[in-house]
Amino acid sequence: MNYSVIALDLDGTLLNSKKEISKRNKETIMKAAKAGAKIVLASGRPVPGVKKIAHALHLEDVGGYILAYNGGMIIDCKTGEVLRRETVPTDYYHTIVQIAHKFGVTPLTYDAEGIITTKADHEYVQLEARINNIPVKEVFHLNEVAAQDPPVKFLMVGEHKVLRQAEAELNEKLKGEVEVFFSEPFFLEITPRGIEKASSLELLLNRIGVERKHLMACGDGFNDIPMMRYAGLAVAMENAQNETKEWADYIAPLNDEDGVAVAIEKFVLT
């Protein structure tokens, strides 16, 4: 098997437009796992949102890994062991929330149960909650509540052109002490420095003793570019961002047309 580790982005890649795993995708992934491939769910989603997908694929039985928050947290599905947990330094919480308020965008982060935010009814906060099927709690002082249990990731949600202004100020004020990037035009992510999918996959591969040339990575978004650049084989969905496609070795069919299954059948199960 040339590609023994399969890293899969979720939204826009493994999941269809209804946020479901198709029958063909599920059966193909299970077949690859039983043949010895390690399945890695590599997503910007919080852990509760990824665990549901891992359970649907029976990764607790066949083996696999959750790489949540764009790699800020890595969990071994079979043992439940947390292999990595990096948090945003508490010194920056006030600045993050202050910049969000300055530009009129909404900040959110996560606790053990779901989303915490300053504006629970915001359309993109509600979208994040629906995507992950997790609850939302509104708080007044987000930075103070978050500091009680430091989170792995913050998110700013709003209109893209306004978020671009917030992005510039975050980079100016925090001077590269955190990673700031878009996973969607309306989702601006803030994670600990050095945290993105590629560095986390490198840590995981080193731990399980697999060379990067045996890694196949499938994605569609801007935050998938690092892992696609790192992987031995980079697969982009037909529905991927144009910039993401530029890094692909292979363009798979749409996420609504079982693109992940097609790629696994072509490059793993041959």
- How far apart, in Å, are the Cα atoms of 225 and each of 38, 46, 171, 181, 221? 21, 19, 20, 11, 7
The amino acid at residue 237 is M
Beta strand 38-42 pairing with 64-68: parallel
- Cβ neighbors of 26 (< 8 A, separation 6 or more) are 56, 57
Beta strand 215-219 pairing with 233-237: parallel
- Cβ neighbors of 55 (< 8 A, separation 6 or more) are none
- Cβ neighbors of 39 (< 8 A, separation 6 or more) are 6, 8, 29, 32, 33, 57, 59, 62, 63, 64, 65
- Give catalytic residues, as residue numbers: 9
* Number of C-beta neighbours around residue 96 at 10 A: 25
Paired tokens of 32: 């690859």
